[in-house]
Amino acid sequence: MINEVKKYVLNKFKSSRPMMILIGSTFLFIFILNVTKTEPELLVLEEKIWPVSAVKAEYQDVQPTLNLFGEVISSRRSDLRAFVGGQVVEVGSNFKEGAIVEEGELLLVIDDFEYANAVVEEEAKFEIMKRDFERAEELFSQGSISEQFRDNALLEKTRQELVLSEVKKDLRDTRLYAPYDGVINDVLASLGKQVSTFNDKIGEIIDVKNLEVKFSISKAQYGRLLEDENSIIGRSIDVRWAVGQKDLLFSADISRIGAEIKSNTGGVNVFASINFPDNEVTPLRPGAFVRLGMPDKSYQSVIVIPDSALYEDSYVYLIRDGRLAKHMVKIHGYDKTNVLITPSEEATITNDDMIITNQLREAGEGVKVEVI
């Protein structure tokens, strides 16, 4: 019986030996892996450094320039009309469009034949009336005629004197002269043309020595300028006129302000007298459109930054220890593409603080940056 048990166990051991070898090999393989394995390396990501441009903060007093547009106008321009009717028998050498004339220069002559004859006729009548009055005066002094008879003679003489003055004026008015220095424009009369009294415009004269520039400023701009002084009369402005390849520069002084605020634009018209050196003939003409530079309100102790440095019209980013720091600001005004700011009450910006000037999409508190 014992021998049979031994025999049975021995047979079982022989039949299971391959399985035991497999299990042992597996445990041995696992043991070797555990002994020889290496720890995995940790992946460390470096913090991104964003390149930015920046300017140093600097408190300064600034007076920006308002960039405006205006139109040149003449302070004087007049229609030229004949005071008497008749045929044009002579035209002045400078009575043509664009010609420069001087005050008193002859422009045009109307046939004076009838007017000269009228003067001769009325002068003869006046001489008769004059002698009649002198005779009446002598007779009155002798007591030969009444005072009323003498007074009637005086009245007739005075009436004829007025008639004579009128026909003499008509004779003078056959010659048309330039009323002031200027440029002739819109000529409508020519040699041989028949003109009628007052009805026919024969030309126009424009004073180009007394030019103004007319422009408009908004109600807000006007109010801002008045914060500096009670009136803007006398304030100097620059006038630039681009003609061809040239950019001509003139100076002007504000001379008057429009009488009302325009309801359609909310602006006010401003007029500035353009300054020219004495006796200089300027190429500038009425109707020219010009660019203007006018000093704006003065600002004290503000920081000037490019508009690209301003985020959402309310804050900027400073660089502190290589990282962004958000600071709220107050906008005071603008100068071309620059913004005039000061820090808000809870923020602090000092001279030489670096303010980034580019719009960084990744900008935020604590973002690491480098100035390039």
CATH assignment of the domain containing 354: 2.40.420.20
Q: Are residues 333 and 288 in the same domain?
A: no
Note whether residue 257 is domain-resident: yes
Instruction: Give residue 9's pLDDT.
Output: 46
Residue 37 has pLDDT above 60, yes or no: no
Note whether residue 276 is domain-resident: yes
Quick one: 361 exposed, middle or buried, by C-beta within 10 A (0-12, 13-18, 19+)? exposed
The helix (run of H) or strand (run of E) holding residue 91 is: strand 86-91
Instruction: Give residue 277's pLDDT.
Output: 81
Q: Which range in 114-128, 136-150, 235-249 is most confidently predicted, on average pLDDT? A: 114-128
Instruction: Give residue 334's pLDDT.
Output: 87
Note whether residue 151 is domain-resident: yes
Note whether residue 279 is domain-resident: yes
Strands in 100-101's sheet, in edge-to-edge order, are 77-81, 201-206, 182-185, 100-101
Instruction: Give residue 289's pLDDT.
Output: 95
pTM score:
0.66
Instruction: Give residue 5's pLDDT.
Output: 47
Domain count, the chain: 3
Q: Are residues 257 and 213 in the same domain?
A: yes
- Does 71 or 5 have the greater pLDDT score? 71
Instruction: Give residue 335's pLDDT.
Output: 87
Residue 11 has pLDDT above 70, yes or no: no
Instruction: Give residue 16's pLDDT.
Output: 56
Angstrom distance (rounded) from CA 143 to CA 255: 68
**How many CA atoms within 13 Å lie on the side-chain side of 230?**
0
Q: Are residues 279 and 303 in the same domain?
A: no
Final residue of a structural domain among 261, 295, 329: 295
Residue 3 has pLDDT above 90, yes or no: no
Instruction: Give residue 20's pLDDT.
Output: 60
- Summarize pLDDT for 236-268 with one digit per residue, the tens: 999 999 988 888 999 999 999 988 887 777 789
Note whether residue 2 is domain-resident: no
Residue 6 has pLDDT above 80, yes or no: no
Residue 254's closest CA among 241, 264, 269, 242? 269
Domain ranges, residue 135 = 112-173
Angstrom distance (rounded) from CA 289 to CA 310: 34
Q: Are residues 263 and 286 in the same domain?
A: yes
Q: Are residues 308 and 268 in the same domain?
A: no
Residue 1 has pLDDT above 60, yes or no: no
CATH assignment of the domain containing 148: 1.10.287
Q: Looking at 201-205, 208-212, 243-247, which range is the least confident one?
A: 243-247
Q: Are residues 347 and 365 in the same domain?
A: yes
Residue 135 has pLDDT above 80, yes or no: yes
Final residue of a structural domain among 265, 295, 325: 295
Angstrom distance (rounded) from CA 171 to CA 116: 6
Residue 131 CA: distances (Å) to CA of 128, 141, 150, 166: 5, 15, 12, 21
| Integer Rg of the chain from CA | 50
Note whether residue 258 is domain-resident: yes
Note whether residue 42 is domain-resident: no
Q: Are residues 265 and 211 in the same domain?
A: yes
Measured from the Cβ of residue 323, the count of other Cβ atoms closer than 10 Å reads: 14
Mean pLDDT of the chain, nearest integer: 88
The helix (run of H) or strand (run of E) holding residue 316 is: strand 315-320
Residue 158 has pLDDT above 70, yes or no: yes
Residue 69's closest CA among 235, 265, 292? 292
Token pair 């420069």 is at which residue? 100
Q: Are residues 320 and 249 in the same domain?
A: no
CA 325 to chain centroid, in Å, comes to: 39
- Summarize pLDDT for 276-330 with one digit per residue, the tens: 887 677 888 999 999 999 999 889 999 999 999 999 999 999 999 999 999 999 9
Note whether residue 158 is domain-resident: yes
Residue 22 has pLDDT above 90, yes or no: no
Residue 2 has pLDDT above 60, yes or no: no
Measured from the Cβ of residue 198, the count of other Cβ atoms closer than 10 Å reads: 11
CATH assignment of the domain containing 291: 2.40.30.170
Q: Are residues 246 and 319 in the same domain?
A: no
Beta-carbon contacts of residue 170 (< 8 Å; ≥ 6 apart): 83, 84, 115, 118
Q: Are residues 315 and 354 in the same domain?
A: yes
Q: Are residues 227 and 281 in the same domain?
A: yes
Angstrom distance (rounded) from CA 318 to CA 23: 68
Residue 369 has pLDDT above 90, yes or no: yes
- Cβ pair 134, 153 in contact under 8 A: no
- Summarize pLDDT for 74-89 with one digit per residue, the tens: 989 999 998 899 999 9
- Summarize pLDDT for 329-362 with one digit per residue, the tens: 999 988 888 999 999 977 789 998 999 999 998 8
- Please report, rounded to a whole number, the percentage of residues in the chain having pLDDT higher than 90: 64
Q: Are residues 221 and 284 in the same domain?
A: yes
Final residue of a structural domain among 295, 313, 345: 295
- Cβ pair 184, 285 in contact under 8 A: no
